[in-house]
A and B are shown apart, each in its own frame.
Chain A
Amino acid sequence: MSDNGRVRLMQGNEACAEAALAAGCRFFAGYPITPATEIAEILAARLPQVGGTFIQMEDELGSMAAVIGASIGGKKALTATSGPGFTLKQENIGYAAMTQIPCVIVDVQRGGPSTGLPTLPAQGDVMQARWGTHGDHPIIVLAPSTVRETYDLTVTAFNFAEKFRTPVILLSDAVVGHLREKVVLPDPSEIALVERKAPTVPPGEYTPFRPDADGIPPFVPVGRGYRYHMTSNVYDEGGFPATNNHAVARQLMERLHQKIDQHLDEIVLTDEIATQDAEVLVFAYGASARSGKAAVKLARGQGIKAGLLKAKTLWPFPAAQVKRLGERVKAIIVPEMNTGQLVGEVERAVRRLPVEVLPLNRYDGLMISPEQILAKIKEVM
Chain B
Amino acid sequence: MASATFKYLRPNRLPHIWCPGCGDGIIVGALVRAIDKLGWSKDETVVVTGIGCSARSNAIIDFNTFQTTHGRALGFATGLKLARPELKVVVVTGDGDGAGIGGNHLIHTARRNVDLTTILVNNSIYGMTGGQYSPLTPTGSFATTAPYGMVEPAFDVCRLVEGAGASFVARGTVYHVRQLEELIGAALTHKGFSFVEVVAQCPTGFGRRNRMKSPAEMMKWQRDHAVTVEAAEKLPPEKLAGKFLTGVLHHEDRPEYTEMYRQVIAQAGQEGGRE
A interface residues with partner B (beta carbon < 8 Å): 1, 5, 26-27, 29, 45-46, 48-51, 53, 55, 57-59, 61-75, 77, 91-92, 95, 221-225, 227-233, 240-241
Contact flag A58-B108 (CB < 8 Å), given A49-B269, A223-B46: yes
Q: Once the chains bind, are B83 and A227 in contact (CB under 8 Å)?
A: no
Number of interface residues of B (CB under 8 A): 47
Q: Does B13 touch A at the CB level, under 8 Å?
A: yes
CB of B139 closer than 8 Å to a CB of A: no
Contact B75 A61 (CB under 8 A): yes
Complex A-B: 23 CB contacts under 8 Å: A27-B83, A29-B79, A46-B272, A48-B265, A49-B269, A61-B71, A61-B75, A61-B105, A65-B69, A65-B73, A65-B105, A66-B75, A66-B76, A69-B48, A69-B75, A69-B76, A69-B78, A69-B81, A92-B72, A222-B64, A222-B87, A227-B42, A232-B68
Q: Knowing that A222-B80, A231-B66 touch, tell me 19 more A-B residue pairs with CB under 8 angstroms.
A: A45-B272, A49-B272, A53-B83, A57-B75, A61-B105, A63-B75, A65-B73, A65-B105, A66-B75, A69-B78, A69-B79, A69-B81, A72-B66, A73-B83, A222-B84, A223-B43, A224-B43, A228-B65, A229-B10
- Would you give the 0/1 interface string for B247-275, flagging 1 where the beta carbon is closer than 8 Å to chain A? 00000000000000100110111001111
Question: In the bound complex, do residue A75 and residue B83 qualify as a contact, i.e. CB atoms below 8 Å apart?
Answer: yes
| Cα separation A222 to B13 with both chains bound (whole Å) | 20
Any A CB within 8 A of the CB of B137: no
Report if A73-B80 is in contact (Cβ < 8 Å); known contacts: A49-B269, A62-B104, A223-B87. yes
Interface residue B58 (Cβ < 8 Å from any Cβ of A): yes
Contact in complex: B46, A222 (CB < 8 Å): yes
Interface of A is mostly: mixed
- The interface centre, meaning the residue of A46, A57, A63 with most chain B CB atoms within 10 A of its CB, is A57
A227 touching B43, Cβ below 8 Å: yes
**Is B201 positioned at the interface, with any CB of A under 8 Å from its CB?**
no
Q: In the complex, are the beta carbons of B84 and A227 less than 8 A apart? A: no
Measured CB to CB, the nearest residue on chain A to B261 is: A53
B83 to chain A, nearest CB (A): 3
For the complex, give the distance between the alpha carbons of A72 and B81 in Å: 10
B173 at the interface (CB under 8 A from A): no
Q: What is the CA–CA distance of A230 and B69 in the complex, to the nearest angstrom?
A: 11
Is the Cβ of B274 less than 8 Å from the Cβ of A50? yes
With the chains together, A27 CA to B80 CA distance in Å?
A: 10
CB distance from A348 to the nearest CB of B (A): 32
Closest residue on chain B to residue A231 by CB atoms: B67
- Whether the Cβ atoms of B274 and A49 lie closer than 8 Å is yes
Roughly how many angstroms separate A248 CA and B261 CA in the complex, as a whole number?
43
Shortest Cβ distance from A299 into chain B, in angstroms?
A: 43
Q: Does B152 contact A (CB under 8 A)?
A: no
Whether, in the assembled complex, B224 has its beta carbon less than 8 Å from a beta carbon of chain A, the answer is no
Is B162 in contact with chain A by the CB < 8 A criterion? no
Query: Chain B: which residue is nearest A62 at the CB level?
Result: B75
List residues of chain A with CB within 8 A of the CB of B75.
57, 61-66, 69, 92
